[in-house]
Structure 1
Amino acid sequence: MAQKVRRQEPGHQYVETMLISMGASAPRAGTKPAVWLREALVQVGARNIRHRGPHRYVFRLGKNRRERESIELGLPDRRPYPKRPDPVTETTGAQSAATL
């Protein structure tokens, strides 16, 4: 979403409206979008949150069930599906920049 604002791609108005509703000042004419975004994130108290990365999925491809089952994936042992969000190191009332 941040990239939409920086490059003024379709959908950037939604992100800007969302930030303004959280307390950021409206972008002024002639202000570079990247500069406004940086200032807006500071104004709403957003912060970066580190996470373990995206989930990965693997599918066996084949014409029928027999072909699919004969394919060895060579993956490490399966770990349980993560059912909890990533741990947060700091707990504050500030808005998260993870969605931006």
Structure 2
Amino acid sequence: MRGNRGPVAGPFVVILAGVVIAAVPLLFGDILAVFGADGAPAVGLGIGGALVLVGVAAHLQPSFTTELGVVAIVLSLLSVFGALGGLVGGLLLGVVGGSLCVAWQPSTE
């Protein structure tokens, strides 16, 4: 008997996006400060951490996956201002992962 498992791919990609977005300010904080993004490390870490939490919540609470997917997409878009979108890689991962979460439907078995 198969159980109704929650989404796997979408939350995993959202968590990966959060890690990438949080890593950029840590690794390139000096370069971001040169471009005038003084608060970038704090904002980037906050958005990255929030995306990791959203990904974990989407995996653990499948009934809220659609709403959490929308939150992941919005946070990923906002990461452009705080962490240059994880050098665009985190932005793309977040949008793809959020879209996978929004598109996920529980099985009807």
Which of the five TM-score ranges fits, normalised by the shorter chain? under 0.3
State the structure with more CA Rg: 1
Whose RCO is larger (CA < 8 A, sep 6+)? 2
**TM-score, normalised relative to structure 1:** 0.23
